[in-house]
Amino acid sequence: MSIAVIYGSTRENGNTEELTEIAIHGLNVEKIKLRDYSVQPIHDQRHAENGFTPVLDDYDSLVERMMKHDILIFATPVYWYSMSGLMKNFIDRWSQTMRDPKFPDFKEQLGQKKAFVIAVGGDTPHIKGLPLIQQFNYVFQFMGITFEGYVLGTARKPGDIINDQLAFSLATEMNLKLKEV
């Protein structure tokens, strides 16, 4: 099973990435750090006569990289109680890819993948991050992706995540599960 991590964080080595390191320890993963690429917000042309206008950014190449893997880990900071805009833009564009002849089986292929979510925030994410988890669940459900598990970590300042013993324990469990699947 091959693994891709899609990072929505905007800081290098932030808490989200640090927690994710626990989950992927000892595993060979492809890291897709969205902040290093240009991904335009979707322009909804689902119902336009000529469909979507091709966008000249890095999105397609990121999708290609993502699609090569069996397991996807979505690792995002919790910004304002949901995923970062960086990650939202990436996922919004899936609507375009679903209609893109270059990716004829996008939904079918995604539907065979397994997904995990790692989200780290400062304001009681184990409660206020639950709507985010529910949304990821709806996204995965729509695509047919199996939602294998999630960790909500608490951290405010850089390095804070180290104090969230529970998150570390959950990330360690995720690591074990990743080695099994």
* Binding residues vs a copy of itself (CB under 8 A): 9-11, 14, 35, 41-45, 47, 77, 79-86, 88-89, 91-92, 94-95, 123, 126-128, 130-135, 137-139, 142, 147, 149-150, 157-158, 165-166, 169-170, 172-173, 176-177
Locate all alpha helices (DSSP H) within 24-116, ordered by sequence.
59-67, 85-92, 94-97, 106-110
Q: Exposed, middle or buried, 119 (CB in 10 Å: 0-12/13-18/19+)?
A: buried
State which residue, 3 or 78, has the beta carbon closest to a copy of itself: 78
State in angstroms the smallest separation of the CB of 70 from a copy of itself: 21
State in angstroms the smallest separation of the CB of 166 from a copy of itself: 5
State in angstroms the smallest separation of the CB of 47 from a copy of itself: 5
Amino acid at 63: V
State which residue, 28 or 38, has the beta carbon closest to a copy of itself: 38
Q: What is the largest CA-CA distance in the chain?
A: 53
Cα separation, 30 vs 128, in Å, equals 30
State which residue, 28 or 33, has the beta carbon closest to a copy of itself: 33
Q: How many CB atoms lie within 10 A of CB 105?
A: 10
State which residue, 100 or 147, has the beta carbon closest to a copy of itself: 147
State in angstroms the smallest separation of the CB of 147 from a copy of itself: 7
Q: What angle do CA 68, 100, 143 make, to 5 degrees?
A: 60
Is the distance from CB of 110 to CB of 144 less than 8 angstroms? yes
